[in-house]
Amino acid sequence: MATALPFLANEAALLATSETIRQQPLAVRPEPSLKLKDLLEITGVFRGRELTRKERRLPCGIEPLDRLIGGGIVRGRISEIIGNPGAGKTSLATAFAAAVTARGEVAAWLDATGCFDPASIAAAGVDLARILWVATPINLSPRRPAGMAVLKAAEWILTAGGFGLLVIDCAGVDDFNHRAFTQSAALRLAHGAERSGAAVIVIAPHRMCGTFAALSLMLSRNRACFSRTCGGAPTLFDGLTLEARIARNKLGGSGGAVIWNALVEPPTAISSASQLTAPPASASAPGAGPRAAVR
Amino acid sequence: MASGEFHGVVSAPHHARIACLLVADFPLAAIIRANSELHDRPFALIRTARGTRCTPHSELSQVSAQAQTLGVRPAMTVAQARALIPDLAILNPSPAAERAAADALIDVAESISPIVEEGAPGCVWLDLTGSTHFYRPANGHPKDVDETGDTHEESIAAELVRRACRVGLEAAVGVAAGKEIARLAARCGGARVIEAGREREFLDWMPLDLLGLGRNARGDDLELVLKRLGIRRLGELARLDTRAVGSRLGIRGAELMRLARGDDSARLAMRSRTEVFAESLDLEYGIETIEPLAFVMRAMIAHLTERLQMRGLVAGDVALTLGLADRRRDDRRVAVAAPTLDIRALLTLVTLHLEAAPPPAPVESIRLALGARVARPAQADMFLPPAPAADRLGAAIVRIAALCGPEHVGRREAAQSHRPEAMRLHRFAPPPPTPPTAAWVAAGPGRATLAVAGAPAPATANVARIVMRTIRPAPPVEVMCTREAPEFVRGTNVCARVVSAAGPWRRQGEWWASANGDDDASLTDAAAPAAYARDYYDLALADGGVYRAYRDLNSGQWFIDGLYD
């Protein structure tokens, strides 16, 4: 093995910091500009070793938020995105899914609420061909409540392996509205995530996994942005300004918060909510919001 | 498999190696295979037509080994047998179970060799000529002996016995230069290999009663005639003059002489066979409930998956045919989301299907067929992102489909329609992972921007695209308007003042579908009419949510379509 892959001979170098690695000449580099650590992270060569490492993270692409949570959510752990309806939970989970599919990985979306909107999710940059959609019907038999179906499906997906991300969307399901997962269920989910190395995101109105969640991000809506180009022109909905606050972080500090924007049509260069005055010039993608004004 | 009779392809007789896979007492073995609880229980088959009742005077045709141990013999009446064993199970022969067992036996043979001939029930020949090349270990021993000391033919014979056991049959295997010698070797039990050139040595001690000689053209019992002549073994027969035996015993006698001298030149006649992976079972009594039916079908599915696995295949859709007590037939087809060999998942799918529409009458016979699919080979790449293994992904999808329903798992996509709720579900088959590009990694620890070929334009620093949570079916709400501008929304889960509103934007279409009556029902909600004309609004309510609502122009009714989240 070491003969075939000379760069694996020196494991100490691989476990060193990225700065150290950057200084060392590499024996095998498929693409010169790729860092070895990144390459190994992509391919999961050191999957077993990297599972518990804080550096193995999945960023969402929203820079301040990624910085707040230390570079992204941790793979092999459960991260919760909690908040009221309309707080931007789905948009944030979609950003993570877009990042995963852009890397060529496969993700799964467990839709316990039936709220999955493929048009707007595809418009957010998610490659739907790499998303396994599973809807757990709410009206299962009494022997099989929705919560059990969600957990079983999640376990099977994690057991299958190879998934980069599993999103469990249980916001708005009556089964989950007033109570969290049981301790044993959350523990099983955490073990499944750790074994498979997949990042698990739970979208819920409140904290569901208790101590077994590595990160709990609480989202809230600051304001909704509406605008019109000139007097008499139709009003347009531009998006939401949202706040993300760390409610719990086992791998870093808690309490930090950032403001970010979720827009119907993200412009190419908008950095703050104060610039959200001009409406988007082009029509939106199908499903992201109707834009053919008739009045 | 080639059609028609097979000629000339099998190697010359002096090089041929033929194996015979033999199941003794085949009708009994087929019954035991279908009803595993009979394995340790004494039972017997009777000589009656199917459907006729068993009477005390019915004659036993075949008797299981346990019953024979206790003194029951074929040709006894049921009353005589029950006098010896009061709880003796009396069964009718099951042609369906025998056919399924015969197919399973052929599958075992075909998993080793492509040239297979089906003989009498429970007997299959397969050509092993040259097969030692395939089974030769990497450090091939010059004498074709593996590390356990067995020759390769012995290893193959032992493997055949193991595979037959996997499909529920206790078989014996004989390997020799000819069909009949191989069959005689198999009749000795276990796995027996007769080396080339040592056939006479094996045949010389072979008792004549093992051969099942039958009668010649004149109706004489050959075994009896030979015994009267003092000939009890084949070796004694081989020493006689061929012409003399031929003149006294006819053609059958001459054939016997040739066999006794090791001249077995019969060739394999391969016949065309439709490759169907099906198991059938005739039940003694009608089954009315799903649970015992599932218990019976579990064993059938287990045998079928074993057969498929031996052939390197996986199971696709399930075809289930139930013979009902009222002489009707109930045909069903159960779709399997992804090919799999997971018995539990397949059984759950079939059970769910039966629970959804139970059979209208008690079930008296079951035929279960699995569609054969080729397993997708997959090779992982060290320098590509990890992806789910095809078989494990398929098993997971099938299990989830069994739990949630096949219509709730797959690749969900928006349909080519302006109707927002139009969606389609496809089978989930992710494209292969793409190799990482240098542009994937941006400078900085957060790796905030992703620049991948074909991906949408990167988001700016703190901006993401908003996503909608749809509400299906759209709940009707009451909207109070002032000068056609929404002012207050009241519904089941929503009741708030409108803070800001954008719209309306009109969407209408599919009027042609309703006119022609050829609308695509799969694209739309069942409750929604085919043609639609709606004015859409984005409403920020005082409860903190921004909703997408629409007013149906045909009915004037307002609906909440989704929530920006």
Q: Which domains can be identified in chain A, with CATH numbers?
A: 57-266 (3.40.50.300)
Cβ–Cβ gap A133/B410 under 8 Å:
yes
Cβ–Cβ gap A35/B413 under 8 Å:
no
Strand ordering across the sheet containing A199-204:
B423-426, B409-414, A131-135, A106-111, A163-169, A199-204, A78-83, A213-227, A236-249, A257-263, B463-465
Q: Residue B471 is nearest to which of A33, A115, A272, comparing CB atoms? A: A115
Residue that is written with structure tokens 């531009």 in the block: A238
Over residues B484-495, the mean pLDDT reads 87
Over residues A18-36, the mean pLDDT reads 44
Closest residue on chain A to B413 (Cα): A118
Taking contacts as CB-CB distances below 8 angstroms, the residues of chain A near B291 are none
pLDDT at B411: 92
pLDDT per residue as tens digits for the range B96-113: 888 889 989 998 998 888
Cβ–Cβ gap A224/B464 under 8 Å:
no
Q: Decide if B43-87 and B278-374 have a common fold.
A: no
Burial class (CB in 10 A: 0-12, 13-18, 19+), B539: buried
Cβ–Cβ gap B420/A162 under 8 Å:
no
Per DSSP bridges, beta strands B409-414 and A213-227 are unpaired
Q: Residue B446 is nearest to which of A67, A120, A136, comparing CB atoms? A: A67
Amino acid at A61: G
Pairwise CA distance, residues A133 & A110, whole Å? 6
Domain ranges within chain B, ordered by starting residue: 1-23+95-128+169-275, 43-87, 278-374, 468-564
**Are A85 and A172 contacting, i.e. CB atoms less than 8 angstroms apart?**
yes
Q: What top-level class would CATH report for the domain B278-374? A: alpha beta
- A35 Cα to chain B: minimum distance (Å): 8
Q: Per-residue confidence at B194, pLDDT binned at 50, 70, 90? A: confident
CATH fold of B43-87? MutS, DNA mismatch repair protein, domain I (3.40.1170)
Amino acid at B135: Y
CATH fold of B1-23+95-128+169-275? Alpha-Beta Plaits (3.30.70)
ipTM over 0.90: no
Taking contacts as CB-CB distances below 8 angstroms, the residues of chain B near A105 are 385-387, 433
Pairwise CA distance, residues A91 & A203, whole Å? 11
Q: Per-residue confidence at B150, pLDDT binned at 50, 70, 90? A: low
For chain A, what is the mean pLDDT? 73
- B429 Cα to chain A: minimum distance (Å): 7
Closest residue on chain A to B504 (Cα): A293
Residue that is written with structure tokens 């069959």 in the block: B183
Over residues A177-199, the mean pLDDT reads 83
- B165 Cα to chain A: minimum distance (Å): 30
For chain B, what is the mean pLDDT? 80
- B197 Cα to chain A: minimum distance (Å): 48
pTM over 0.90: no
Maximum distance among all Cα pairs of chain B, rounded to whole angstroms: 120
Cβ–Cβ gap A105/B387 under 8 Å:
yes
The answer to whether residue A11 scores a pLDDT higher than 90 is: no
Range of lowest pLDDT (A169-183, A273-287, B90-104, B336-350): A273-287
pLDDT per residue as tens digits for the range B64-82: 888 988 888 888 888 999 9
Pairwise CA distance, residues A2 & B209, whole Å? 65
Taking contacts as CB-CB distances below 8 angstroms, the residues of chain B near A132 are 397, 409-411, 428, 430
Taking contacts as CB-CB distances below 8 angstroms, the residues of chain B near A72 are 446-447
Across the A/B interface, how many CB contacts are shorter than 8 Å?
327
Taking contacts as CB-CB distances below 8 angstroms, the residues of chain A near B457 are 268
- Taking residue B487's Cβ as centre, other Cβ atoms within 10 Å add up to 12
Spatial CA neighbour of B120 closest among B9, B19, B21:
B21
Taking contacts as CB-CB distances below 8 angstroms, the residues of chain A near B462 are 62-65, 258-261, 271-272
- B214 Cα to chain A: minimum distance (Å): 59
Pairwise CA distance, residues B336 & B398, whole Å? 7
Range of lowest pLDDT (A62-76, A281-295, B103-117, B286-300): A281-295
Amino acid at B340: T
Helices B290-310, B152-166: crossing angle, 10 deg rounding: 160
Q: For residue B250, give every residue at least 6 positions away whose Cβ sits within 8 Å of its Cβ, in sequence order, or none.
A: B216, B217, B218
Taking contacts as CB-CB distances below 8 angstroms, the residues of chain A near B438 are 31-34
Q: Residue A64 is nearest to which of B389, B436, B462, comparing CB atoms? A: B462
Taking contacts as CB-CB distances below 8 angstroms, the residues of chain B near A287 are 414, 420, 468
Pairwise CA distance, residues B266 & B182, whole Å? 11
Q: Residue B413 is nearest to which of A118, A149, A291, comparing CB atoms? A: A118
pLDDT per residue as tens digits for the range B396-407: 888 888 788 888
